[in-house]
Amino acid sequence: MAEKIKRPKARNYKGFRDTFSEDILLRRKMIETIREICERYGFSPLETPALEYVDSLGKFLPEEHTPEGGIFSFKNPDLSSGTREDHPDWWLGMRYDLTAPLARVVAQYQDLPKPFRRYQLGQVWRYEKPGPGRFREFYQFDFDSVGAASMIADAESCAMVCDMLEALGFARGDYIIQVNDRKALQGALECAGLTESDITDENSQVGVALRAIDKLDRVGRDGVTELLGKGRKDTSGDYTEGAGLDTKQIDIIHAYLDARSDSRTEVCDSLGKLVADSKIGCEGVEELRQIDSHLTDLGYSADRVRFEPTVVRGLGYYTGPVFEGIITKEIVDEKGKKRSFGSIFGGGRYDTLVQRFTGQKTPATGGSVGVDRLLAAMLLLDKKKAHNSCTTEVLITIMDKSRLTDYLQLVQKVRAAGINSEVFVGNGSIGKQLQYADRRGIPLALIAGSDEFSNGEYQIKDLELGRRLAADIEDRDEWLKGRPSQQSVKADELMSKLKELLADYRAK
């Protein structure tokens, strides 16, 4: 008996996915729009490796030499067998965001112009539990200004995202950029009696309190109260240790979170009163006042950029203003249910991140656009935004296989004219070839047999027009007799006619 062949099972690792042309092409078009806006603001591109030394990423547990959960990491295969595990080059990791590599770049290349304004598109990887719409591999689009102490850079970060969203077709009112300041929030915590903690230390009492506030949207006001106090048990039975604050302290923090208004000036005034006894709190409010002034000068009012005291941002390295961009327009999902989409952009000021390498404080601010989430929002908001899944514009059909040389020379002429085209390389009748074009969404088919080549005249079938007409005509047989979507074109007019027919299609 022949030995059974053991074949691999076709599968994806959990949290990873395949992406097909429709989403890829729409994402590419979306990224080009975002890239244009970044360059309009003076940002230049940068690329960094997918792999970094783990100590550069800053992901070590305090008491161990093993990378912390949250990143994909492995031992450096280039090290000799006798290398100690505490060697700084021992662990390599896949980047989990684009900001940590940027900090390494700025520290490594000391002669970079300051401010260093860069944008970067890239995939990042996080070893965390995947879920609906949450993957372990995804794209980010980051922009940052390193060496920029002025709040103008923070104001421009918010303004630039407004421009991006509107360039992508989001109307004012479909989104909002929310801004808070971690210094102002720390001032409120100080006024509540938390004076010994570092705002960037996630394990401090301040860090625990900030994480509690950051969960407001998920657990509600009562849940935040529990997390600021002794702790909270969720519906699954899991218990989260609280910050250990008393009722008076919690009331002060809630007063901060309730200082909301459609007027940025009123928010600043309310926060200023609450944190008046805190130096760092007053610094934070002053930063917000400067951002308000700069946004006003740039022409961005509170209907686009609002001050929101509940915005915290989870990462511990934020030291000042923090931003979050939210799609506010109601979305109907695939099941027909109405829901809000939520955050598609986040960022803030991180003046101590480069300091990990250099020992010197380096002011920096920036943000990250969630490419995949923004793409999903665009598709859910308007299915028409989906790009055609095919890059081919013209299919050269094969009617006479004895004239393959003519077909290949023809397709090269079409390509030389700047038109994406392909010769049908499968097997099948002209009908099957046109079915192939229809299935792929190819807009035009070029039909030529021996007579057409001899006469120097070709048939162009406008498949895109045919699809539109077919949707509106009840008597399809009668429509086919007239063949309004097919026309004959002389050889010397062929390229100009193809470009004319493709003009509307390309403009989509």
| Measured distance CA(207)–CA(183) in Å, rounded | 13
| φ/ψ (deg, to 5) at 275 | -110, 20
Give the pLDDT score at 315: 64
pTM over 0.75: yes
* Residues 451, 335 share a domain: no
pLDDT at 334: 67
pLDDT digits (tens, 9 = 90+) for 413-467: 999 999 999 999 999 899 999 999 988 889 999 999 988 898 999 999 998 877 7
Residue 81 lies in a domain: no
- Of the residues 385, 413, 438, the one at which a domain ends: 385
> Looking at the structure, do residues 305 and 417 belong to the same domain, yes or no?
no
Strands 175-181 and 51-53 turn out to be unpaired
* pLDDT of the residue at 383: 45
Report the pLDDT value the prediction gives residue 384, as an integer from 0 to 100.
Answer: 44
Q: Rounded to an integer, what distance in angstroms lies between the CA atom of residue 200 and that of residue 348?
A: 13
* Residue 479 is assigned to a structural domain of this protein: yes
Q: Is residue 229 part of a domain?
A: yes
Give residue 61's pLDDT: 54
Closest of 238, 249, 243 to residue 228, by C-alpha: 243
Low-confidence ranges of the chain (pLDDT < 70): 1, 59-68, 196-203, 314-316, 333-334, 382-389, 468-484, 508
Q: What is the pLDDT of residue 46?
A: 97
Q: Tokens 């240790």 map to which residue?
A: 241
- In DSSP terms, 345 is beta-bridged to 325, 369
Is residue 61 assigned to a domain? no
Q: Tens of pLDDT along 217-230? A: 788 888 888 888 88
- Report which of 119, 61, 62, 128 is spatially closest to residue 94, judged by C-alpha positions: 128
Residue 364 and residue 427 in one domain: no
The pLDDT of residue 460 is 94
Q: Does residue 63 belong to any structural domain of this protein?
A: no
Domain range for residue 317? Answer: 21-50+95-385
Q: Is 85 inside a domain boundary?
A: no
User: pLDDT for 299-328, tens place per residue?
Assistant: 999 999 999 999 987 666 789 999 999 999
The pLDDT of residue 481: 54
Residue 70 and residue 126 in contact, taking contact as beta carbons nearer than 8 Å: yes
Based on the domain organization, do 409 and 374 belong to the same domain? no
Query: Of the residues 336, 354, 385, which one is the last residue of a structural domain?
Result: 385
**Token digits for 468?**
């539109």
Q: Is residue 242 part of a domain?
A: yes
- The pLDDT assigned to 475 comes to 55
Shared domain check, 373 and 227:
yes
Q: What are phi and psi of 294, to 5 degrees?
A: -65, -40
Total tally of structural domains belonging to the chain = 2
Query: Do 347 and 242 share a domain, yes or no?
Result: yes
Are residues 270 and 295 part of one domain?
A: yes
The closest alpha carbon to 13, from 98, 194, 135, belongs to 135
**Do residues 424 and 474 share a domain?**
yes
Inter-residue long-range contacts of 68-77, CB under 8 Å, 24+ positions, other chains counted: 69/127, 69/128, 70/96, 70/126, 70/127, 70/128, 71/96, 71/125, 71/126, 71/127, 72/125, 72/127, 72/136
Same domain, 421 and 304: no
Is the preceding omega at residue 88 within 30 degrees of 0, hence cis?
A: no
Look up the CATH number of the domain holding residue 134: 3.30.930.10
- Evaluate whether residue 324 is within a structural domain: yes
Domain boundary (385, 405, 437) is at: 385
pLDDT digits (tens, 9 = 90+) for 42-81: 999 999 999 999 999 886 654 556 666 788 998 999 988 8
Look at the block and give the residue holding tokens 């079938």. 461
On whether both 263 and 164 belong to a single domain, the answer is: yes
Sign of torsion, CA 460 464 467 468?
negative
CATH of the domain at 443: 3.40.50.800
Same domain for 351 and 302: yes
Residues 304 and 438 in one domain: no
pLDDT at 473: 56
